[in-house]
């Protein structure tokens, strides 16, 4: 479909439109010298930059030099060709959503969540699930029409799944904050695996969240959706509601709404809704 769209070419902008200015900084494992400076310039040139200016060369340890470099790239991007899986639903307010759940589902939604693996960063999952919520936006516990079970941190993937099964959860909320050498992906995969083993994969909604999580990655890992920094509990509540409707074959057509407004983006649910775009 992007074929139809006419092109919208963009370039980085520094001083004048389309000048392509980019700032770089990096360390090279050599001491400061004219040669080191030339090496830094070479790095920038090899990245395809012209007008390369090594604005700083600093001795960052006996055998290390820190560089700040400016240069210009000649690349052009067709902005219209860039696609991100993103679907916009009109977002319900707190009361409105509870009312909608009561009306459309006629029962409380059950969600079980945790920060899994050896990760003990609870603030993220707490922000979504606990009463208090995040940035003045109430947490799921506060929603009359949600039953939210937060298992806290350092929970084994399998035990999270087991508990969700026991609670008959509609959705499993997984948080990962530590990402060193992709440990968050490992743990996420492990969770999906054991959900399959324990036979609740099909009937459960899987949400993945964390500062380094985005919707795309979450989809790749087999989740229904991913939520990154700044997510509000109401985004999550709305998402789960719509997702459940959808599973009941009653998803409303998503409506475009401005990004970042109170009618905030609710991440896409991959393929199915993708088509309704």
Return the active site residues: 132
Binding mask 175-214 for ligand B12 (x = CB under 6 A): x-xxxx--------------------------x-xxx---
Q: Which of 10, 14, 110, 193 binds another protein (CB under 8 A)?
A: 14
Closer CB to ligand B12, 65 or 234, in the complex: 234
Q: Which residue's structure tokens are 């969540």?
A: 113
| Contact call for residue 181 and another protein (CB under 8 A) | yes
Binding test (CB under 8 A) with another protein, winner from 11, 43, 52, 70: 70
Which CB atom, from 119 or from 170, has the smaller least distance to ligand B12?
119
12 binds ligand B12, rule: CB under 6 A: no
Quick check: 272 and 246 in contact, CB under 8 A? Answer: yes
94: region left, alpha or beta (phi > 0 left; psi from -120 to 50 alpha): alpha
CB of residue 56 vs its own copies: minimum separation in angstroms? 10
> What would the two tokens of residue 240 be?
């789960």
Among 60, 105, 162, 277, binds another protein (CB under 8 A): 60
Euclidean distance between CA atoms 207 and 225, whole angstroms: 5
The H or E element containing residue 123 is helix 123-129
From the list its own copies, another protein, ligand B12, none, partner contacted by residue 209 (C-beta under 5 to 8 A by kind): ligand B12
| One residue of 144, 168, 199, 229 binding another protein per CB under 8 A | 229
Among 109, 149, 174, 188, interactor with ligand B12 by CB under 6 A = 174
Question: Do residues 235 and 91 lie in contact, with contact meaning Cβ atoms separated by under 8 Å?
Answer: yes
Residue 212 is a binding residue for its own copies (CB under 8 A): yes
Q: Does 119 bind ligand B12 (CB under 6 A)?
A: yes
What is the full DSSP assignment across 43-65?
HHHHTTEEEEEEEEEEE-STT-E
3-state class of 212 per DSSP? Answer: coil
Rg (CA), the chain: 23
Which listed option, ligand B12, another protein, its own copies, none, makes contact with residue 47 (CB within 5 to 8 Å by class)? its own copies
Contact status: 123 vs ligand B12 (CB under 6 A)? yes
Question: Which range of residues in 175-183, 198-206, 251-259, 263-271 is near another protein by CB under 8 A?
Answer: 175-183
Residue 166 CA to residue 162 CA, distance in Å, equals 6
Placement of tokens 């009463």 in the chain: 131
Distances (CA, A) of 200 to 150, 173, 193, 196, 265: 19, 14, 10, 6, 28
3-state secondary structure of 2: coil
**Interface residues with its own copies (CB under 8 A)?**
10-14, 17, 21-30, 32-35, 37-39, 42-43, 46-48, 53, 64, 73, 75, 77, 79, 82-84, 86, 212, 215, 259-260, 265
């Amino acid at each position: 479909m992007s074929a139809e769209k006419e092109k919208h070419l963009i370039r980085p902008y520094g001083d004048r439109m389309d000048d392509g200015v980019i700032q770089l900084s990096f360390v090279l494992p050599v001491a400061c010298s004219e040669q080191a400076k030339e090496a830094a310039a070479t790095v920038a040139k090899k990245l395809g930059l012209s007008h390369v200016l090594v604005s700083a060369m600093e001795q960052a340890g006996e055998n290390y030099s820190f560089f700040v470099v400016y240069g210009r790239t000649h690349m052009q991007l067709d902005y219209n060709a860039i696609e991100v899986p993103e679907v916009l639903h009109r977002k319900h307010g707190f009361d409105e959503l509870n009312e909608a759940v009561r009306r459309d589902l006629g029962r409380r939604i059950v969600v079980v969540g945790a920060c899994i693996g050896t990760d003990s960063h609870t603030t993220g999952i707490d922000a979504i699930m606990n009463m208090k919520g995040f940035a003045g936006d109430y947490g799921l516990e506060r929603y009359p029409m949600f039953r939210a079970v937060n298992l806290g941190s350092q929970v084994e993937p399998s035990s999270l799944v087991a508990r969700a099964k026991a609670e008959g959860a509609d959705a499993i909320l997984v948080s990962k904050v530590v990402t060193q050498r992709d440990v968050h992906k490992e743990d996420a995969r492990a969770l999906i695996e054991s959900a399959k083993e324990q036979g609740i994969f099909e009937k459960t909604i899987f949400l993945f969240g964390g500062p380094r999580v985005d919707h795309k990655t979450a989809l790749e890992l087999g989740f229904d959706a991913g939520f990154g920094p700044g997510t509000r509990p109401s985004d999550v509540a709305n998402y789960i509601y719509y997702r459940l409707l959808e599973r009941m074959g009653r998803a409303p057509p998503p409506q475009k709404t401005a990004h970042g407004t109170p009618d905030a983006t609710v991440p896409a649910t991959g393929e199915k809704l993708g088509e309704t775009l």
